[in-house]
Chain A
Amino acid sequence: MAVTGPAFSVILADAQGGDEAAFACLFRAVQPVLLGYLRVLAAEAAEDVAGETWLQVVAGLAGFRGGEDAFRAWLFTIARHRAIDAGRARARRHTVPLDQHEPEVRLTAPDASDLALEAISTRTALALLSALPPDQAEIILLRVVAGLSIQDVARMLGKSPGAVRVAAHRGLRRLAAMVDRAGVTT
């Protein structure tokens, strides 16, 4: 996972001051992870939702206060909301009544051919994550890939930190089992 590290506060301040190169730095540090997260949550709408997320981040950037962890938590919270809204909008267009089980996220099941790949690729990673129960996939994406703290992840998903850790462990165990079964290696 790419973090901006100790230089973050410098880069953030420069970006808040209007420095485009600094903003590009923030963008590049987050965008791959953001897209990965959204590909699992919003499938083909991932890039649109990412775009909406950045619009909101840009609008709120000048007023943001906090370190790198807080920035990521803020950004991914926005992304999550936009992804869920996109899912609801899609479902509403199919006239699903609100009081049914909410059409949360659309996860795509993995291809057998994806699992049989010998080389690791981003596509394989997304395919395997999509095969997990949605909660586990989200938690792993937010905690392990995006590097949000367990507290932040817990707050975002409305769970306790203990539940987050348990779900993450379960998901990781399943990923390892899938990897083992498919004979996937680096």
Chain B
Amino acid sequence: MSGPDASSPEMPGFPFFRRPAMPLDESVLDALLTGQFLPPDAPEQARTVQHMLASLADPAVPGALAGEAGARRAFVRAASLVSASPATRRRALRRPRRFAASLTSKLAAGLAAVIVGAGGAAAAAYAGALPAPIQDLAHDAIGAPPARQPAPNAPEVHGAVSGQCAAYQRAKKHGGSAAAAAEFAKLASAAGGAGKIDAYCAAVQKAAIGPASSRHGTAKTHGKTTAHGKPRPHPAPKPHPSHPGGARSPGQAKLPTTLHISSKVTAGNHDHADELTGVLRSHRKGVAAETITLEGRAGADGKWVVIGTGTTAADGSATFTVALPSEKTQFEMVFAGDSTYRNSHSNVVSVKKER
């Protein structure tokens, strides 16, 4: 396919909304929908769409793993508050924690989590820290230096390899490895042959898990990534005052809330009514004396309108009684938040009078 369409200046008017849709047939659409590999006669556009969507899941694209440090910090803080005994018991039954070593090779091949992150295997590859055969594979695929050269910094990673590993493994799940390998010829050549794709992808993943877990060892105070299988017991678990597990990011003083709505149909005199109860909680405790707004809409496509407001009781609940609608109606509740609590909204419930 060549370059941009000559009518690009028309783009602001989005001409494709006026054109008839591409005649992709149902089977191709379903294949895209379920992540199966496409049949050989599928239109080029379908293939392009599939690869394009797969790139959104690609961890090797710069920025795809942003926020990892913060999430891990939150995890470590939360983990330190969990009592050690159930985990210790579970751990006693389990293989050692370095699961890159503990998983059988078959399991590792099936482990389709592509961990080649910007900083995982990529950094290792550029530093020459991968085992030699993998280093050479990485050399072919991502232009990393071959095994015997030292390398300075890690430039941006070429995303093709890991994205293709992920797409290939998903396709294999549905269609068998021979067909999937034909589809991913580039991956096969990087791996040194169709039969080696599994091993290649697994090796890249294994290598990534190892260096990654030790890389963060220095920054941590709990030392959880040392070779020990047991969690070190925390001397005194922190209580939850106004800093619940330190889960609030800097500069954000408000407590998170959740709002859950449930619906109960009650029998009245002539008509049935629907009792909608919302429960507002923060850190598993009800939040009282807050204003909750009930909203509803007709069907699943109508506009949301405010039906009423209520105030939460001591347990955080607020109940609204509405006449049972004859058409399918959806309800949700909203808590607007205040200086102490963050806003939240509930799940959506659908209600309709049964005849």
Q: Which residues of A line the B interface, CB within 8 A?
A: 1-7, 10-11, 13-25, 27-29, 31-33, 35-36, 47, 50-52, 54-56, 58-59, 61-62, 77, 81, 84-85, 88-89, 92, 98-99, 101-102, 110, 112, 115-116, 118, 120-122, 124-126, 128, 131, 140-141, 143-147, 157-160, 163, 165, 168-170, 172-186
21 pairs from A and B in contact (CB 8 Å cutoff): A5-B112, A17-B91, A18-B82, A18-B231, A20-B216, A20-B220, A24-B72, A29-B59, A31-B64, A31-B67, A50-B67, A62-B82, A92-B343, A98-B295, A112-B4, A145-B53, A157-B300, A168-B29, A169-B33, A172-B32, A184-B1
CA A51 to CA B247, docked complex, whole Å: 10
Query: Cβ of B310 < 8 Å from any Cβ of A?
Result: no
A176-B24 CB under 8 A given contacts A20-B224, A21-B212, A32-B65: yes
CA A147 to CA B167, docked complex, whole Å: 12
Contact B87 A179 (CB under 8 A): no
B21 to chain A, nearest CB (A): 4
- A-B contacts counted at CB < 8 A amount to 300
Query: Cβ of B350 < 8 Å from any Cβ of A?
Result: yes
Contact B16 A144 (CB under 8 A): no
CA A140 to CA B54, docked complex, whole Å: 11
Interface residue SS majority, chain A: helix
Query: Cβ of B49 < 8 Å from any Cβ of A?
Result: yes
Kindly list the 4 A-B residue pairs having the minimum CB-CB distance in the complex, ordered from nearest.
A116-B4, A17-B87, A18-B79, A36-B56
Q: Mark B23-65, 1 if CB is under 8 A from A, else 0.
A: 0101001001101000000011111110111111111010111
Contact B99 A10 (CB under 8 A): yes
A177-B22 CB under 8 A given contacts A28-B65, A183-B1: yes
Contact B70 A54 (CB under 8 A): yes
A185 to chain B, nearest CB (A): 5
A6-B4 CB under 8 A given contacts A92-B336, A174-B16: no
A52-B58 CB under 8 A given contacts A1-B35, A18-B231, A28-B113: no
Q: Inside 8 A of B146's CB, which chain A residues have their CB?
A: none
CA A168 to CA B26, docked complex, whole Å: 11
Q: Inside 8 A of B90's CB, which chain A residues have their CB?
A: 13, 17
Query: Cβ of B337 < 8 Å from any Cβ of A?
Result: yes
Contact A24 B68 (CB under 8 A): yes
CA A90 to CA B15, docked complex, whole Å: 31
CA A94 to CA B80, docked complex, whole Å: 40
CA A15 to CA B224, docked complex, whole Å: 12
Contact A7 B99 (CB under 8 A): yes
Q: Mark B1-24, 1 if CB is under 8 A from A, else 0.
A: 111110011011011110101101
Query: Cβ of B253 < 8 Å from any Cβ of A?
Result: no
Contact B68 A59 (CB under 8 A): no
CA A170 to CA B64, docked complex, whole Å: 27
Instruction: Give the size category of B's interface with A.
Output: 35 or more
Within 8 A of A (CB), among B292-315: 293, 295, 300, 303-306
A121 to chain B, nearest CB (A): 7
Q: Which A residue's beta carbon lies closest to that of B307?
A: A99
Query: Cβ of B66 < 8 Å from any Cβ of A?
Result: yes
Q: Inside 8 A of B53's CB, which chain A residues have their CB?
A: 125, 140, 144-145
Contact B5 A183 (CB under 8 A): yes
CA A36 to CA B26, docked complex, whole Å: 26
CA A185 to CA B9, docked complex, whole Å: 20
Contact B113 A5 (CB under 8 A): yes
B328 to chain A, nearest CB (A): 10
Beyond contacts A32-B58, A98-B293: 16 other A-B pairs, Cβ-Cβ < 8 A, are: A11-B99, A15-B75, A18-B82, A19-B224, A31-B65, A55-B248, A61-B75, A121-B61, A122-B55, A122-B58, A128-B52, A172-B29, A172-B33, A174-B17, A179-B45, A183-B4
